[in-house]
């Protein structure tokens, strides 16, 4: 992606697109608001948590999720209307993943809900790729020295979600109970469960 990606520039482009849609009679302002509200109503970290819980309890689904996140998540109805490619990356005992969008704030909105303000901040976007261990420590996440940290840079075409490690002692929990353990920060990789 090239060009200026500042919030002001993006806001001007969005407003211009809205104006064109209204001027051409394709949508009214009210219809546009309804479409945005409808989209955001289905956007929640609970969707990502549900995906994670299914992956923890269904090995075949977990394999499909890691091979083709978009298709696997569509099985659960969480990617309807979304055209980005979703790649799910798995945390293990020796590897920790964290996501960022260095250009703007590309993010799997349907699965993680609206992005937190720190995710959009220039400080996070620039520092997490240079010094991920230090940034994670600022979130209170101290990983063992031998843990490899991989930073995944989202784009307009590909979004990422972290599949956190399943917490110990959760073997008897239902899928719904497991989903209740998953946080948005764990889905981004700035926390562990």
Q: Residues annotated in the binding site for Fe(3+), as ranges?
A: 101, 104-106
Look up 104 and say whether it is catalytic: yes
Contact present, 45 and 118 (Cβ < 8 Å):
no
Q: Which of 44, 78, 82, 105 is catalytic?
A: 105
Q: What does the alpha-carbon distance between residue 133 and residue 98 come to, in Å, rounded to a whole number?
A: 10
Which of 78, 82, 101, 154 is labelled catalytic?
101
Characterize the bridge pairing of strands 148-153 and 158-163.
unpaired
Let me know: does 78 contact 130? Beta carbons within 8 Å. no
How many CB atoms are located within 10 Å of the residue 159 CB? 26
Judged by DSSP in three states, 32 sits in helix
- Is 121 an annotated catalytic residue? no
Q: Which of 106, 126, 155, 174 is catalytic?
A: 106
Overall residue count recorded for the chain in this entry: 193
Report which secondary-structure segment, H or E, holds 97.
strand 95-100
Task: Name residues whose C-beta falls within 8 Å of residue 74's C-beta, 6 or more positions apart in sequence.
Answer: 80
CA distance 73 to 187: 14
Active site residue 105: yes
Could you say which of 104, 115, 121, 154 is catalytic?
A: 104
Please indicate whether residue 38 is annotated as part of the active site: no
* Residues labelled as active-site residues: 101, 104-106
């Amino acid at each position: 992606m090239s060009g200026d990606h500042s919030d002001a520039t993006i806001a001007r482009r969005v407003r211009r697109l809205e104006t064109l849609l209204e001027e051409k009679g394709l949508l009214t302002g009210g219809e546009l608001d309804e479409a945005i509200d409808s989209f955001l109503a289905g956007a929640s970290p609970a969707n990502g948590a549900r995906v994670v819980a299914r992956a923890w309890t269904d090995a075949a689904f977990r394999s499909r999720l890691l091979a083709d996140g978009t298709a696997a998540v569509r099985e659960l109805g969480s990617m309807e209307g979304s055209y980005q490619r979703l790649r799910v990356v798995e945390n293990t005992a020796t590897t920790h993943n964290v996501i960022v969008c260095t250009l703007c704030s590309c993010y799997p909105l349907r699965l993680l809900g609206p992005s937190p303000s720190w995710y959009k901040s220039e400080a996070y976007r620039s520092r997490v790729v240079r010094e991920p261990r230090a940034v994670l420590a600022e979130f209170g996440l101290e990983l063992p020295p031998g843990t490899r940290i991989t930073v995944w840079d989202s784009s307009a075409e590909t979004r990422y979600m972290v599949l956190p490690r399943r917490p110990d002692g959760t073997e008897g929990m239902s899928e719904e109970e497991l989903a209740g353990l998953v946080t948005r920060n764990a889905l981004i990789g700035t926390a562990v469960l």
